[in-house]
Structure 1
Amino acid sequence: MNKKNTLLALEDDQLVIQTGDKILIKGPMASGKTTLLKKIIAKLPKHQFDILFQTLDDNFVPGTVAENLAFNLENNAVPFREMQTSILASAEAYHLTDDLNTDISELTTYQKKLLALAQLLILPTDILVLDEPLFLPEAFDGTLIVSGDFDPNLFDQVIDLSEEITTRQIAELDLTRQINPDKAILSVTELVDQMSFTIYEGEKVAITAPDEIPVADMLAGFRPTSGEIDFYYEDVTHQSLDKRGRKIGYIMANPDDMIFVERVRDADISNELLTLCQLTAVKDIRLSQLSYRQKRLFTTACILMQATPIVIIDQPEFEGFPEILAYLDRQGVTLILVTDEDKLLPFMDRQEVF
């Protein structure tokens, strides 16, 4: 049995981590998981750990899937033939073989999550810090520090930052929901095999589906579907992004895919939405300097400015969500969440699970 040594201690958080420990930090989005991870990282021995960043694009170098898989191997002077073998094996294990020559900018969010993990696990260090990974690494003997929603029984220590939503919290929201059960605003037939559903005017609906199905991308027109999508009685399945974007506002899971201005003020967001999305104090700051959460609130404000009849949020964060929901209710906007986050469900009218 390997002898364990103290790796680090955080007195304020009453946390001691031994070498080889498996640590889980759990809680809803914006509950402080990433903040605690940063405090832990500051105490880790330099150059002896790898990090999976929550902001997906921070995990990659410009280039193809193969070039990203090769990055750690090249830095560790792995011989060329061994490197090629490792890349092919990793691509096969994580279902990326067909995308080895694909530029990372063309990957779906799900594929980026796969690649971000694959390129760490192809040659892992003794310490891994994973912020909201898609899955846990198998048979990893080193120290593993993870934030996310995983089985607590798999870990030596669990830090739970959750706070229960009370009925009173929901009741205190100014929700003025106006649903028209006789008017379908979005009818989806066979988005993929055996995935059909109808959304009615004013509804707030959560859709839960396997990660590998890009539901939000398909509904918004960024990925093709062999089925049919009707906005009221109009088939919009093959409409251009510009035309469909006037009907369906889409807040992507990765905010960096939506940011094309330098500062918050450049987006001409109304004062009401700047306040709602907690951006007033940072409106003159470069977006590159904002946190991941602030970037998500910025892209949310940009989409709300478009005043579309339907808004889709892919993997929404809880921080600020109740207030944004109340705003959408007042505007009579139909909301679709693509999420498996249980904490959001009490605020929704129903959930569709596939």
Structure 2
Amino acid sequence: MRAAVLRKGSIVVDTVPDPVLEQGQVLVRSMACGICGSDLHAAKFTRQFVDLAARTGGRWGMDPDRDVVFGHEFCCEVVEYGPNTPARLKPGTPVVSMPLTLSGQTVQGIGYSNDIAGGFAQYMPLADRMLLPVPNGLSPVHAALTEPIAVGWHAVQSARLDQDDVPLVVGCGPVGLAVIAGLAIRGVHPIIAADYSPARRALALKMGADIVVNPAAASPYETWKTTATPDGFDGSRYAQLFGLGPKLRPAVIFECVGVPGVIQQIMEGAPASARIVVVGVCMETDRFEPFFGIVKQLNVQFVLAYTKEEFAESLSHIAEGRVNVAPLVTGTVGLDGVSVAFAELGNPEKHAKIIVDPWT
């Protein structure tokens, strides 16, 4: 089968072995697969990516000196079942799955494995028990966004939100946009979103943000304060100590940038007692001053990925129209276009999410 392969730092198109199915596995034909920011980082900083994975418990056992086929945001169709595996779904059924499979009793990841090709290949061996049929005639391109939407939904679910909270999303790349979609589903408003990119701010509005801020022109934290301050609020120390008058609405700030320095910026700008949810995946050494967190009594929480329930809920949110993922898709390429797509995704004014079709 054909695949887009990361080989010694470059994306090339080549023929790779077809999957050999084991019991409990299903051969699926990849129909659409999104390019994730983690894919871009793993391609550009492969050894750093692998070293960090090893230091954090071996989440990705990828050998940087061997070929790897990326792709963990996918929609596929059922082709055939492995040995001694009852055919639960008919051939041709469109499905999505969390990016993993089972080999005997061993769980293996999809997308950062040297041995199992991801969604940038034409076929994959997925675990039957993890397959979710795509409902409502949802297009494969939109169904493939179940995985990134699940990342945002997990962050929102983990934030323990109350209807009185005023959320601020810092960074409106694909992760931040998924968080905005999750907040809109939860009905927590107003949603404030901040990004330097005009294109990303426009997408934030389409995904459900109520207020967008260009940090080069205005402080997101001052915008939050203006929005969350009720009439008659007295911010003086003694008024707050004795509980006089109305209170500021609680702040929940989602860090969706993932570059060094942003957590420090948020801690400096955040109001007292804010909850900070770190969703952006920073793979470099960062530093911040704990004194800001201590004085303001900030709560900082780190999140990653999603549960199987949140993944299934995200598919339902898309299929039922509770989140419109169409604005996120800004390009589609075949295997020969993957390398160029990796380069073009560095321009936030041009692209949000590019979908790979391994058959074109």
TM-score higher than 0.5: no
Q: Given the two structures, how large is their TM-score scaled by the length of structure 2?
A: 0.26
